[in-house]
Structure 1
Amino acid sequence: MARGPDAGTLVERALSLSAMRASIAMVVLDATATRWASATFSGARHVLDLRLSDTAAARQWLAGLAEADLPMRGHLMADCTVAHLHSAGGTIDVRIEALTVESV
């Protein structure tokens, strides 16, 4: 029986949908997810490299990611930060680091 998409896929989808709703073209260049667990929670750490057009809307979207509501079935976004940003030639290359927690 299929369990559905993994947390890494759900994070990519949530970010893509959020960018699309903000009228931002976003390309995922690379994405990794590493499972983790504490005494009370389990989830995954995510690193995503994205490319966006360098627009005011894209910069505003990136600035609001830490507070954004990014719904994902079966998971909660516990943290989402812009770890690195480089702008050149009309594009923004950005590294996003995120932490998801499995919801019960």
Structure 2
Amino acid sequence: MARGPDAGALVERALNLSAAAAGVPMRIVEASATRWASATFAGARHVLDLEVGGDRASRAWLGALGEAELPMRGQLMADCTVVATRVGERSVCARVEALTVETA
């Protein structure tokens, strides 16, 4: 029986939907996820390299990403931080680290 998409796929989908809603051209260049668990929670740590447009809206979207609501079925985005950016002539590359917690 299939369980549905894993946490990594859900994070990617949530970021794509958020960027599209903001009118921001975004592509995920690379993504990885590592499962983790504590005594009370289980989830995953995510590292994503994104490329967004170089316009003001794209930079604003990246700047607000840490506070954004990113709904995902069966997961809670516990933390989402842009840890590095590189500004190019036409785009901005950003490394995003996120922590998801299973809710179901």
Could you tell me the TM-score, scaled by structure 1's length? 0.98
Aligned to 2:79, the other structure's residue is in SS state strand
Partner of 1:60: helix, strand, or coil? helix
Q: Give the drift of 1:27.
A: 0.7
Report the Cα offset of residue 43 of structure 1: 0.1
* Aligned amino acid, residue 40 of structure 2: T
The 5 A counterparts of 1:1-104 are 1-104=1-104
Range that drifts further, 5-14 or 51-60: 51-60
- Give a deviation string over 1:14-43, Cα, whole Å, max 9, x none: 000000000011011000000000111000
- Give the CA deviation at 1:90: 1.1
Measure, in 1, the Cα distance between the counterparts of 2:27 and 2:42: 28
4+ residue runs over 2 A deviation: none
Query: Any unmatched runs of 5+ in structure 2?
Result: none
Instruction: Give the superposition deviation at 1:7.
Output: 0.1
Number of aligned pairs?
104
Q: Secondary structure at the match of 2:17?
A: helix
Aligned residue identity for 1:33: A
- 2:100 partner amino acid: T
Hey, what's the Cα distance between the residues in 1 that align with 2:20 and 2:71? 14
SS of equivalent to 2:71? coil
The runs of 5 or more residues in structure 1 that have no matched partner are: none
Q: Give the RMSD, CA atoms, in angstroms.
A: 0.6
Please state how far the C-alpha of 1:63 moved relative to its aligned partner. Answer: 1.0
